[in-house]
Amino acid sequence: MSLSSDPYYSTDDSDADQSKTAKNGDSNQKSVVKLYHQKLALNQISPNRAVTEADAVRLHGQLTNNEKVATKEDIATCIKILEEQRNLVKGWTKSKIHEKIIHFAKKHQIKHAQDPSTTITTLRQLEDAWASDESIAEKVWWVLLGEFDKWKDWDLELEEAMMKEYQWEYIGLAATSRTKRQKGCVAKLVVFQKALIVKYVNAVTMRPGSHGKSVSLTQPREMIAANGGKQFRRKKGVFYPWMVRSHEPAVATSKNIFVSDTDTEEEVDEPETTGNDTRLNIKSSTATAKVRK
């Protein structure tokens, strides 16, 4: 039996009342993959690359205990599942982080660029305020980075809330037994989406006529070089003057904004590599299994 004929992983949308709907990229189409009660491997969803056939083969092996050879239809279904899972996490995360950022902006009294008598209420207004007024740099740092820096395990808290809402769970390791180095894919995607939001807000100061400054958590290269190539251990939730600085030349002259640009990059864990994962009892051979034609 193929996965697409299994009612739990069906791509039929007739059971919409028991399914969540999600926006799918720019098409704004309803999700047709059921997204409740999902069981995930810790590294199931990559935060920063497209879903591959190897990802789909691993998921198929996980769902079938590696007892069945995946058909092309199975692979297509698994790719759809992984894409919809990621889209759901991305949409949910953006909404929650936007809410938090606006809450922090009101807390730090960031004013509307066109009406200084009112505080901002949208992310676009925050961008306009930051682009037009360099003097609010420290406030912007607190809104985008400092408040999250003080909020211990904010990514794990949002991960827990999202997974509880959709009744997702990780395979093999309960959340309470994982170490911080065993961060789940949902938490990684939460952090990645937050870093993207910081990146895009910072990018507005590269507009013509703006001040060209950015806010950051990472230490300047010259500071690291002066310290023998090592970063000093900073205290979390503390603002330092070097956290506001001009965009790196390579970033300022580029037409693209990448989350890996070092002038505004958050302290993000590297994505886990695929392969043997004894914690989840998923064999690396599933990633290279043959697909039945």
Model pLDDT for residues 79-96, shown as the tens digit of each residue: 999 999 999 999 999 999
Overall average pLDDT of the 171-181 stretch: 67
Burial class (CB in 10 A: 0-12, 13-18, 19+), 4: middle
Q: What share of the chain is helix, strand, coil (3-state, %, to 5)?
A: 50, 5, 45
Is 110 or 1 the better-scoring residue by pLDDT? 110
Overall average pLDDT of the 223-230 stretch: 89
pLDDT of residue 171: 86
pLDDT of residue 73: 95
Of the candidates 193, 202, 217, the one whose C-alpha atom is nearest the C-alpha of residue 265 is 217
Model pLDDT for residues 48-76, shown as the tens digit of each residue: 899 999 999 999 998 898 888 999 999 99
Name the pTM for this structure. 0.75
For residues 48 and 40, give the distance between their C-alpha atoms in angstroms, rounded to a whole number: 17
In the chain the first and final C-alpha atoms are separated, in Å, by: 15
pLDDT of residue 253: 53
Domain residue spans of the chain: 3-9+34-280
Q: What backbone torsions phi and psi does residue 123 show, to the nearest 5 degrees?
A: -65, -35
